Chain A
């Protein structure tokens, strides 16, 4: 396959899927290119915490050709351009990765947590997340959830 942008590397994974590695600068252009080539189904967005940098993995799927392609991009400042305008299915995936991984997707509106309350401290799926400090979820008078370190007088 020919790409309009420069890619870092191309390989085949253990499951036989093609992996394309791309730099953060060329990432959005590559995604636009792939979308126009018929990859209309964004299957999954994954963040992998490699401790000193974050690897974001995109699984794209062309329904017509039945082809899968994996796009990998590294980010050191945990920021990456959003692809919601290209695939709407990225919306909740990005919110989930922001919630649990702390990746900030730039250029989209309404980036908020998907599962946890808005004031939850930390991102649980990060490798350096402190599991010893328990956080409790409570409900305020308006019916909205909030997280607190105070166990309270519950059960």
Chain B
């Protein structure tokens, strides 16, 4: 008869170098095999939704910047899609195109950070520097238009705060001249590395049904063979006027999730290049929003808007009671749903594999904890 066994309990975090911020994982171990994990979050919880109830519609944007702090432009697009529908304000055509340019540049930047983080978790330092060098050029564009690098606060209800400058377009074009070659180098750094391949190929396999059942979206879902992208499923801004493909993989392993992100970066570049060509002239701000001095904007009813952030389906649900502040704001955080599959994925795997799997889920805790 086998003696009764006791599992060793091991705590990762809340501040563990490989846990992407403030994730705490309590793992039950049998030697090096994980039997079960408990995910404990909330260390960065600021209750942004309550703060939104206490602030004017136009001022709420800053809380969204600070959710996904490596993908701030995409968060702004998500909030404004909902808020503008609620307040009946339509941004002018030029503002929509500028927003697409910024959102896609931000998607490239966010994916670069994610790829850098995956490399770091596998002990590869060189890709990190390459990714951040390229990302810095995108942040230069953001600095040019808004004056800030990360929490940009560039868009606003009714359009964008300032028009896109000639220099910002030149910077973007210069960046794209070099970028495909740099991306190829980066790709080779991963794909010609046997250590990387053997630690991601066939590891952390997520099947289609589990992914849908757990509410997973974004690159993680598309790596499991579901062709779902909000930009195609329910086009917002001007995404129905640009050509791009949805990269899908059917493998569902950690490697597939990395490859899907590489492919998405290329698609984003395609979108920005088209958007710069098609950028129409005209106002960049709806005078209706400016005239009301922002503070007097009132909204009634309820709106749910979904957009495709770099992590997946980002949803904002706003209820207004006719006042100057929202009655209730609720955020659907794609990273939170993606994190929830870490538990089934890490059962009966090695500790080291749990680390790589969690890396490929693209966790940003500003958004998970809000």
Identify which of residues 309-353 in chain B touch chain A, using a CB-to-CB cut-off of 8 Å. 313, 315, 317, 319, 327-328, 330, 332, 336-337, 340
Closest Cβ of chain A to B120, distance in Å, is: 26
Q: Which interface class (under 10, 10 to 19, 20 to 34, 35 or more) fits A?
A: 20 to 34
A-chain residues with CB within 8 Å of residue B328 when the two chains form the complex: 46, 48-49, 125
Inter-chain contacts of A24 with B (CB < 8 A): none
Interchain CB contact (< 8 A) of A43 among B41, B47, B313: B313
Chain A 45-73 per-residue mask, 1 if CB under 8 angstroms from chain B, else 0: 01011000000010100010010101000
Contact check, B332 vs A44: say whether CB atoms are below 8 A apart: yes
| A124-B50 Cα distance, complex, nearest whole Å | 8
Is A115 part of the binding interface, using a Cβ–Cβ cutoff of 8 Å? yes
Asked if B11 is at the interface of the complex by the 8 Å CB criterion, the answer is yes
Q: A91: which B residues are within 8 A, CB to CB?
A: 340
- Cα distance, A63 to B49, chains bound together (Å): 28
Contacts of B305 in A (CB 8 A): 15
Q: Tell whether, in the assembled complex, residue B336 and residue A63 are in contact, meaning their CB atoms are under 8 Å apart.
A: no
Tally B residues with Cβ within 8 Å of A: 35
Is B287 an interface residue when CB atoms closer than 8 A count as contact?
no
The reply to whether the CB of A87 lies closer than 8 angstroms to some CB of chain B is: yes
* Minimum CB–CB distance for A136 against chain B, Å: 14
> Chain B: which residue is nearest A143 at the CB level?
B11
Complex Cα gap A57–B147 (Å): 39
Of A14, A41, A125, which one neighbours B301 at CB under 8 angstroms? A14
List of A residues within 8 angstroms of B8 by Cβ: none
Give residues 63-86 of B contacting A (CB, 8 Å): 85-86
Within 8 A of A (CB), among B28-62: 41-42, 45, 47, 49-50
Q: Which residue of A lies closest to B321 (CB)?
A: A50
Complex-state Cα separation, A152 to B244, whole angstroms: 56
Residue pair B301, A89 in contact (C-beta under 8 Å): no
A76 at interface, CB cutoff 8 A: no
Q: Shortest distance in angstroms between B313's beta carbon and chain A's nearest beta carbon?
A: 7
A114–chain B nearest beta-carbon distance, Å: 7
Q: A14-B303, A115-B42 are in contact. Are A87 and B213 (CB under 8 A)?
A: yes
The prevalent SS among residues of A at the interface is: loop
Q: Tell me the chain B residues, 207-224 only, with Cβ under 8 Å from chain A.
A: 212-215
Asked whether, in the complex, the Cβ of A42 is within 8 Å of the Cβ of B301, the reply is: no
Chain B residues with CB under 8 Å of A57's CB are 317
Chain B residues with Cβ under 8 A from A41's Cβ?
212, 215
The yes or no answer to A108 lying at the interface (CB within 8 A) is no
Contact yes or no, B215 A17, CB < 8 A: no
A91-113 residues with Cβ-Cβ distance < 8 A to B are: 91-92, 100, 113
Across the interface, which residues of B come within 8 angstroms of A33, CB to CB? none
Contact B213 A48 (CB under 8 A): no
Q: List, in ascending order, chain B residues with CB within 8 A of A44's CB.
A: 304, 315, 317, 330, 332
A106 nearest CB across to chain B (Å): 21
Query: What is the interface of chain B, defined by CB distance below 8 A to chain A?
Result: 11, 41-42, 45, 47, 49-50, 85-86, 212-215, 226, 228, 233-234, 301-306, 313, 315, 317, 319, 327-328, 330, 332, 336-337, 340, 369
Residues of A within 8 A of B (CB): 13-15, 17, 40-44, 46, 48-49, 57, 59, 63, 66, 68, 70, 87-89, 91-92, 100, 113-116, 124-125, 143
Those 5 A-B pairs whose CB atoms lie nearest each other, nearest first: A89-B215, A115-B42, A115-B45, A46-B330, A44-B332
Between-chain CB contacts (< 8 Å), 20 pairs = A13-B302, A13-B304, A14-B86, A15-B85, A15-B305, A42-B215, A57-B317, A59-B317, A63-B228, A66-B234, A91-B340, A92-B340, A100-B50, A115-B45, A116-B42, A124-B47, A125-B47, A125-B49, A125-B328, A143-B11
